[in-house]
Structures are given as structure tokens and as C-alpha cells.
Amino acid sequence: MVMETIEKVVANLGASGIDSRLEELLIDGILYAFQEQTSDDANAICGTIKWRLNNKSAKVRQQVADLISRIAVVMKQCGEEQLIGHLGVVLYEYFGEEYPEVLGSILGALKAIVNVSDRGVEFVLAREWMRVFFELLEMLKAHKKGLKVQECQNRVCTTVAIAIVVETCSPFTVLPALMNEYRVPELNVQNCVLKSLSFLFEYIGEMGKLHNSGEKEIIYSKRENG
């Protein structure tokens, strides 16, 4: 990247403005970049990302998750689908993140990976998507006897999966069943439903606004017709 950048700058602007001091700095920088280079394999990207995801600083972990969100599209364009899939597996391991803002960035990174990697959803029958959703709904409210971290990971994964189904099948096919679960007189289940709703509307973005607008039109129409 260092060499490509220097090459493009010189090609576009020429070298006439480079004095002896700047030339020394450029050569020093090139030599340093070469010496610090550990691999010419694209997997070095994953190595750097995994190393920074383990950083003690929450801000660093959040920044590297945001980085994945930004480079997922570029990696897809470069044909690095296998690498994208590997990053998805790596991110899955960090669902136990204790800081909400960092976890939000991790989920955002997973969304970016899903957006550039998923394919063929239109070939799955609607009834199959609904079957998947109801199974996920059972997982969302299920009590686990394992550790709290494992229970949290399970619910986070389930929430992400529900959001993906909502995006695929449209909100109106899923929301009634999800809202019905909120009627269960159990605080734990109700909290799970609320968190799931919060994330899925953030996940589907503009689709949620369109659904809300359409729902209002139906309500107003029913009122006008008595």
C-alpha cells in the first residue's frame, strides 16, 4: 500500500516538488514499511484485525469493528469472499463484548458482511422463512442453564438472525408474532423482545420507516370507514 500510494502520487503530480529532505523521508518510510512487512498474504488483514479486537482499549476494539464495516464491500469487489467469511466467524467470537457501544459496532460489522455475502434468499419459500423465524423466537425466550455469557451470546445471535429474517420477509410478516411474545408475563422474555425490536429496526433502516408509514395508512383507512 505504501508503494502504491507513492507511485500514484508521483505519477499524478510528478517528482519536481520533492526536495532532498523529503526524498530521505520517503526512502526511510519505504524501508520501514518493507522491514515491518510480515506477510504478503491477504490473511495479514485478518491477523491485524484479530489482534486489535483483543486490545484492552474498548475504543480500539470499536474502531477495528467499524473498519470491517467499511472494508467489507471493497473485499467483496476484490474477490476475497473466503476472507469475508472468516472475518464473520471471528466476529461471532466477540458476542460476549461487555461494552454496548463496542458490541453495536461488532453487530454493524456483521451486518456489513451479511450485506455483501448473502445470496439466493429469493429461492427460499416464504413458509420456510417463517418456520425459521418461529424456531428463532423459541430460542430467544428459552432459558439456558449455562453461563450468563453463553446465554447472552445465544440471545445476541438469535436477535441478529431474526433481524435478517425480517429484512428478507418484510416486517409485517414477523412483527405480530414478536409482539405477541411481549404479552408473556415474564420480565426476562419481555426484555428480550424489546432488545430484539430495537436492534431489528436499526438493522432494517429505511424498510422500518416504510412499514410504519404503511401501517399508519391502514389504521387511518379503517377509522375513516368506521
Q: What is the per-residue pLDDT across 125-180, written as a single tens digit (0 to 9) for each?
A: 677 777 777 878 887 766 554 455 566 667 777 787 888 788 777 787 788 888 88
- Same domain, residue pair 26 and 54: no
- Same domain, residue pair 130 and 217: yes
Check whether 120 has a pLDDT greater than 80. Answer: no
- Same domain, residue pair 152 and 202: yes
- Same domain, residue pair 72 and 170: no
Whether pTM exceeds 0.75: no
Check whether 82 has a pLDDT greater than 60. Answer: yes
- In single-letter form, the type of residue at position 178 comes to L
pLDDT at 219: 36
Instruction: Judge contact between 160 and 106, C-beta under 8 A.
Output: no
- Same domain, residue pair 177 and 143: yes
pLDDT-based confidence at residue 216 (cuts at 50, 70, 90): very low
What is the 8-class DSSP label of residue 37? -
> Which residues, 6+ apart, have CB-to-CB distance to 94 below 8 Å?
53, 61, 106
Please give the residue that has the higher pLDDT: either 174 or 212.
174
pLDDT at 210: 59
- Same domain, residue pair 109 and 128: no
DSSP 55-106: -S-HHHHHHHHHHHHHHHHHHHHTT-HHHHHHHHHHHHTTTT-SSHHHHHHH
What percentage of the chain has pLDDT greater than the value 90? 1
- Same domain, residue pair 46 and 91: yes
Quote the number of domains for the chain: 3
Lowest mean pLDDT across 6-15, 91-100, 189-198: 91-100
Check whether 70 has a pLDDT greater than 60. Answer: yes
Check whether 223 has a pLDDT greater than 60. Answer: no
Check whether 212 has a pLDDT greater than 60. Answer: no
pLDDT at 194: 86
- Same domain, residue pair 132 and 226: yes
Last residue of a domain, one of 119, 136, 168: 119
Domain containing 182 equals: 122-226
- Same domain, residue pair 114 and 126: no
- In single-letter form, the type of residue at position 157 comes to C
- Same domain, residue pair 133 and 100: no
- Same domain, residue pair 21 and 57: no
Lowest mean pLDDT across 8-17, 46-55, 134-143, 216-225: 216-225
- Same domain, residue pair 146 and 217: yes
